[in-house]
Each structure stands twice: as C-alpha cells, then as structure tokens.
Amino acid sequence: MGTIGFNENMLVQVSSQYAGKILKAFHNVGDDVREGEVLFTIDSPDLLQAESTLLASAGVLELQKKTLARATGLLKQGGSAQKDVDQATSDQQTAEGNFKAASDAVRIFGKTNTEIDKIVADRRIDSTLVVASPIAGRVVTRNAAPGLLTQPGAAPPPFQIAGISTMWMIANVIETDAPAYKVGQSVDVTVPAYPDRVFKGRVAAVGSIIDPNTRRQLVRSEVDDPDHLLRSGMYASFVIRVEDPVRSLAVPENGVVREGDGTMTVWVTKDSRHYSKRTVSTGLRENGWVQIRDGLQSGEQVVTNGAVFLSNALLLGATD
C-alpha cells in the first residue's frame, strides 16, 4: 500500500519579491494555470519609487540634450567656448547613464521595454506589480486576498502551485524486501477511484534508513498522470518489478528454520527415517514459498511441518 502525493520537485510557492498590498487575486484552489499566467497583483511602493526615479532621470536627460544642442549651436556662431560644449557633453553622458540605470531598475520588476517607453512617453506612473505563475500546474493553496500585505519570503505564501503531469507515490516496504528495490525500476499503480486504470511510473528514490519503529524502508516512485486524475492523499496499490522472472528452487515456508545465530536451515531426508540438517541461502518469499539460492539440489526431499521440531530436538541432544 502506498500514498499519492504531489511531486515536490514541481511544487512551487509563489510570492512577490517585493512588499506591497494585494490588489487582485485571479485564481482559486483547484484551478489549472498556465506558465506565465497572472496569479495576483500588488500595489508596490518599491515599483512606485523606481518609476518616479525613471521619470526624473528621463526629464534630466531631455534637458541635457537641449543644453548640449544649444551649446553646440552657439559654438558654431562664436557665442560660446569649447569648454561649454565639453561640459554639456559630459552632463548628457551622465544623464544617459542615470536613465539607463533607472530603466534597468524598473525592468527588474518585470516591466518590458515597451511598457518602460510608455511610462516615459505618457509620464504616468503605474505602481501595479504583476506576479505570474512560474510553472504550468494546479493551485494547491491560496492565501491571497485583496487588501492583505505580502512580504517577500513570508509564510504562508499567497499561492502554491503544483505541477500535476507527474505525481509521487510514497510506499513503506518491509525490511526483508529492501535490498530488492533500485532506482529506475518500473511501477504499476492502481487507486480505488479508478480500479480499472493502471498508472505507469518508475522508482525515483530509495530510502537510506530503516524506520526503527515500523521496520520499513521508504520507496518513492514518480507516476505519470497525463490526464490529471490522481489526487494527493489517495491510497494506492502498486507492483514494482524488481527483476525479470526466473525459475528457482523453493520450499514451503514452514520447511525453513531460522537458527539462533540467524542462519537459515532445512532438514533433508532420503528415506523419511533419517534426517540431516542443511544450511541454505534464501531469497524471495511468495505465496507461502521461500526461494532457495544455495544449499539444496533439485529433487531433494525436505521436511516441512516437522522441521522446527527436529531443530528443537537437536538442541536437546535427542538426535544426531
């Protein structure tokens, strides 16, 4: 049994990089949004200051251009000195640098060159800052509301967007099966809501520890969900193909005895009257059978129901 969750590599908290009062919020929880689609707008004092500086620098630059033109004309007519033209040229270059710096400061807020040119041409300030979704996905949480003050990095964020083309399935597998899981193995997932639908995925991460309380290991799979059917929190059943099917020796589970030192043994007989203990190497367990990797040969007869009693009798010295 596993649990479906959002792919946290595609889970984004969307906040404004600047402080301001939220003006409008355009989406609700559960809405699907495209990359670049506007989520909310804020009234930003920082943007207001940057645009004011832009207009001031644009005005100074325009004045310096006129001053340089006038000084150049007077020089041609002999009405001014070369030093006046040089000073006017230097002042214009300084004004151009200040205007460029002011334009770059406004551009940081997401304003395009066209919008910057319009601000300068109309000499009109717009302090509305637009915050767009950085990814395509679904609105998971919304804390934005008109009139609320938002701060950079403040919790909770105004919006949280999750990419839903893939989901995570979190499973806790038993300790004895832990060595079988590897990153990249294929996964077939089913959920109660769609019992006839199989979702394909792959193992993305295998935990590095065994939980000391449950004796289980975390296995995280990335599951494809192109139709956006899965929901975070769903229970899921899964099959993970750990390797290709193989033919192998196996004995019933009650024929394998775990000794006090941790070794696994079976009792072998040829005539059902004399028995010898054999140490074996076990593998997978399935449907009441235990895989025997080493220690037995095909066709040998083993004790099943009475194996544990033979081991106890040997400890008591009742048999050789």
CB neighbours (10 Å) of residue 111? 21
CATH of residue 90:
1.10.287
Nearest one of 197, 53, 180 to 116, comparing CA atoms:
53
Question: 72 and 114 in one domain?
Answer: yes
User: Does pLDDT of 320 surpass 60?
Assistant: no
Q: Quick one: pLDDT band at residue 317, thresholds 50, 70, 90?
A: low
Question: 196 and 71 in one domain?
Answer: no
Question: 292 and 194 in one domain?
Answer: no
> In this structure, is residue 308 part of a structural domain?
yes
**How many Å apart are CA 20 and CA 9, to the nearest integer?**
28
**Residue appearing with tokens 């020089």:** 75
Lowest mean pLDDT among 66-70, 79-83, 176-180, 265-269: 79-83
CATH of residue 218:
2.40.30.170
214, 240, 266 — which closes off a domain? Answer: 240
Question: 147 and 81 in one domain?
Answer: no
> In this structure, is residue 320 part of a structural domain?
no
pLDDT score for 319? 45
Question: 136 and 105 in one domain?
Answer: no
Nearest one of 192, 225, 170, 231 to 29, comparing CA atoms:
231
pLDDT, tens digit, 9 for 90 and up, residues 194-233: 999 999 999 999 988 998 998 899 999 999 999 999 999 9
Question: 291 and 190 in one domain?
Answer: no
Nearest one of 164, 169, 206 to 190, comparing CA atoms:
169
**Arithmetic mean of pLDDT, 68-88:** 80
**Arithmetic mean of pLDDT, 26-40:** 92
- For the four alpha carbons of 102, 104, 107 and 112, in that order, the dihedral sign comes to positive
**How many Å apart are CA 124 and CA 146, to the nearest integer?**
24
Question: 208 and 116 in one domain?
Answer: no
Question: 147 and 100 in one domain?
Answer: no
> In this structure, is residue 2 part of a structural domain?
no
Q: Quick one: pLDDT band at residue 311, thresholds 50, 70, 90?
A: low
**How many Å apart are CA 50 and CA 54, to the nearest integer?**
6
Alpha-helix residue ranges (DSSP H) falling in 172-258: none
User: Does pLDDT of 110 surpass 50?
Assistant: yes
| Cβ proximity of 256 and 303 under 8 Å | no
The residue range of the domain holding 309 is 250-315
pLDDT, tens digit, 9 for 90 and up, residues 143-172: 999 988 888 878 889 999 999 899 999 999
> In this structure, is residue 116 part of a structural domain?
yes
**How many Å apart are CA 203 and CA 91, to the nearest integer?**
65
Q: Quick one: pLDDT band at residue 318, thresholds 50, 70, 90?
A: very low
> In this structure, is residue 151 part of a structural domain?
yes
- CA 314 vs CA 99, 202, 260, 306: distances in Å: 95, 48, 13, 13
Contacts of residue 226, defined as CB under 8 A and 6 or more positions apart, other chains included, come to 165
> In this structure, is residue 99 part of a structural domain?
yes
CATH of residue 158:
2.40.50.100
Q: How many domains does the chain have?
A: 4
- In Å, how far from its chain's centre is CA 167? 9
How high does pLDDT run on average in the chain?
A: 87
